[in-house]
């Protein structure tokens, strides 16, 4: 501006002849100043755009760092989840193998039809053995009672014969005593008659003396005979009393023996009847227990068949679940590998784009510095350079915006991958819940089988104990 005013004053002083070139020079200078102001405003706009692009670049770089960190964390989480589910899969396989081994062991320990028949035969033999032993014991007791009754009968007949023999001897003894007494009385009468006749033949005095003496003698003899007869009678009475007492005692013994005989007969009949009733009850009980054992055998056969069918169904379910689990594991591994490859490719692409942006920004910075230096040197060249550079900068800004949209698309794809990973996690959790439910069902089935086997064994032991 100072130069222009100086020129204007010089032109005015110089005269009107040089006014036209001065005016043209002034217009040119004003146009140049306008152009310079426009270029400055454009440079300011470019600087503002550059700062905005720089801020956007830093924001994109921070976002890329965040995406890289999220991608790393996602990869680590996927690795952890993969390792976890691989470990769970191995544990499930081991548990499944253990359960299959336990089921096979239970199958081997289950009561088969031949073993059931063998147990039935053993129980029948034990029952028959116990019945035979009881019947033998009862027969031995009946035989003992029969021998005791026969012995009592023999003793009773012997006592009866002895009593009759003693009664016969007592009667004969009484008859002998009566006969002896009659004979002595007849002898005494004969002696008296002979004495009386002899006395009558003698003298009267002697006769009287003899008669007195005979009378005294007879009286003495009669008295002696009477005393002896009294003593004999007393002895006989005592013997009769003793024999009567002995007879009554023998009658009491006979009565007691008859009572014992009747009691033993009743007891023997009762024992015989009881043994018959016990044998009949034992036979009925044996038939009842045999029917119960056959019923339990049929029930156990049905239970074994049901358990076999359930085991077959469980084996098929286990195979299907194992196949589904393997398919899901392969699908998850394939998806994780694909996600890893896609994320790696995206990361490499983002890194390359980041490197290109950095190089372009460095180039733009270098160009800006060169442009500033050239603008200080030559504003015309700077104007032309700025005009020429406006188009590639626009293209670069457009490319930055496209890259930004591409980054947003990448972020949306990453969110989609995260949603897919979450859906895969939910599927894995669902598979875990199905596997846990299958394990619970398998454990319940094994527990119910073991409980039923224990109940069957306890029932068999109970039957065996009842039979014993």
Residue whose tokens read 């794809």: 413
Categorize the per-residue pLDDT at 432 as very low, low, confident or very high, splitting at 50, 70 and 90. low
Q: What is the mean pLDDT of residues 405-415?
A: 64
What's the confidence (pLDDT) of residue 376?
60
- Residues 278-297 pLDDT 10s: 777 777 877 777 777 778 77
* % the chain with pLDDT above 70: 57
Q: How far apart are CA 195 and CA 420, in angstroms?
A: 169
In this model, does residue 456 exceed pLDDT 80? no
CA-to-CA dists, residue 379 to 13, 56, 372, 373, 374, angstroms: 32, 30, 9, 10, 7
What's the confidence (pLDDT) of residue 455?
72
Q: What is the mean pLDDT of residues 89-108?
A: 75
Q: What is the mean pLDDT of residues 163-168?
A: 80
* % the chain with pLDDT above 90: 0
Helix (H) / strand (E) containing 111: none
Q: Tell me how many helices (H) and strands (E) the chain has.
A: 5, 0
- Residues 307-317 pLDDT 10s: 677 767 766 76
Q: What is the mean pLDDT of residues 418-442?
A: 63
Distance of CA 281 to the CA centre of its chain: 39
- Residues 374-407 pLDDT 10s: 656 665 665 555 556 555 555 655 665 666 666 6
- Residues 209-241 pLDDT 10s: 666 777 777 777 777 777 877 787 787 778 777
Number of C-alpha atoms within 13 angstroms, CB side, residue 148?
Answer: 17
Categorize the per-residue pLDDT at 321 as very low, low, confident or very high, splitting at 50, 70 and 90. low
- Residues 139-148 pLDDT 10s: 888 788 788 8
What's the confidence (pLDDT) of residue 73?
78
Categorize the per-residue pLDDT at 330 as very low, low, confident or very high, splitting at 50, 70 and 90. confident
Other CB atoms within 10 A of residue 343 CB: 21
Q: Which of 79-93, 102-116, 129-143, 325-339 has the highest mean pLDDT?
A: 129-143
- Residues 238-282 pLDDT 10s: 877 777 777 777 777 777 877 877 777 777 777 777 777 777 777
What's the confidence (pLDDT) of residue 166?
79
Q: What is the mean pLDDT of residues 360-385?
A: 63
What's the confidence (pLDDT) of residue 3?
40
What's the confidence (pLDDT) of residue 12?
39
What's the confidence (pLDDT) of residue 442?
61
Q: How far apart are CA 82 and CA 332, in angstroms?
A: 8
Which has more confidence, 74 or 3? Answer: 74
Residue 8 token pair: 């204007």
| Contact present, 40 and 384 (Cβ < 8 Å) | no
Instruction: Write down the mean pLDDT value for the chain.
Output: 71
What's the confidence (pLDDT) of residue 4?
40
Which has more confidence, 79 or 368? Answer: 79
What's the confidence (pLDDT) of residue 397?
56
């Amino acid at each position: 501006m100072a130069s222009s005013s100086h020129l204007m004053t010089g032109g005015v002083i110089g005269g009107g002849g040089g006014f036209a070139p001065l005016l043209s020079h002034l217009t040119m200078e004003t146009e140049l100043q306008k152009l310079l102001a426009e270029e400055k405003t454009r440079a300011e706009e470019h600087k503002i755009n550059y700062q905005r692009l720089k801020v956007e670049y830093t924001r994109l770089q921070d976002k890329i760092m965040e995406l890289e960190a999220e991608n790393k964390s996602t990869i680590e989480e996927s690795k952890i989840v993969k390792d976890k589910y691989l470990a769970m899969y191995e544990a499930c396989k081991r548990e499944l193998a253990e359960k299959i081994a336990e089921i096979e062991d239970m199958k081997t320990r289950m009561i088969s039809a031949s073993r059931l028949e063998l147990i039935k035969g053993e129980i029948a033999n034990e029952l028959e053995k116990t019945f035979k032993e009881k019947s033998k014991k009862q027969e031995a007791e009946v035989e003992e009672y029969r021998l005791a009754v026969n012995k009592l009968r023999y003793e009773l007949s012997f006592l009866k014969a002895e009593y009759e023999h003693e009664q016969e001897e007592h009667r004969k003894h009484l008859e002998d005593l009566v006969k002896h007494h009659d004979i002595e009385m007849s002898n005494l009468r004969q002696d008296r008659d002979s004495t009386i006749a002899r006395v009558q033949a003698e003298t009267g005095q002697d006769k009287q003396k003899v008669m007195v003496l005979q009378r005294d003698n007879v009286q003495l003899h009669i008295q002696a005979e009477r005393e002896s007869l009294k003593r004999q009678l007393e002895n006989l009475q005592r013997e009769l009393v003793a024999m009567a007492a002995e007879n009554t005692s023998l009658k009491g013994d006979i009565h007691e023996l008859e009572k014992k005989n009747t009691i033993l007969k009743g007891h023997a009949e009762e024992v015989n009847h009881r043994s018959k009733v016990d044998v009949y009850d034992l036979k009925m009980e044996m038939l009842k227990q045999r029917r119960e054992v056959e019923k339990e055998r049929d029930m156990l056969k049905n239970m074994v068949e049901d358990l076999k069918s359930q085991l077959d169904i469980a084996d098929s379910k286990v195979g299907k679940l194992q196949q589904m689990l393997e398919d899901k594991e392969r699908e998850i591994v394939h998806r994780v590998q694909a996600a890893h490859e896609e994320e790696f490719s995206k990361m490499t692409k983002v890194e390359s784009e980041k490197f290109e942006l950095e190089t372009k920004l460095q180039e733009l910075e270098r160009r800006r510095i060169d442009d500033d230096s050239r603008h200080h040197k030559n504003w015309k060249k700077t104007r032309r350079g700025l005009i020429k550079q406006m188009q590639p900068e626009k293209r670069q800004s457009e490319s930055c915006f496209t890259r930004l949209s591409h980054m947003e698309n990448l972020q949306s794809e990453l969110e989609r991958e995260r949603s897919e990973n979450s859906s895969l996690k939910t599927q894995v959790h669902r598979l875990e819940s199905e596997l846990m439910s299958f394990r619970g069902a398998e454990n319940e089935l094994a527990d119910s089988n073991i409980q039923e086997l224990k109940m069957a064994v306890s029932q068999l032991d109970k039957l065996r104990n009842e039979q014993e």
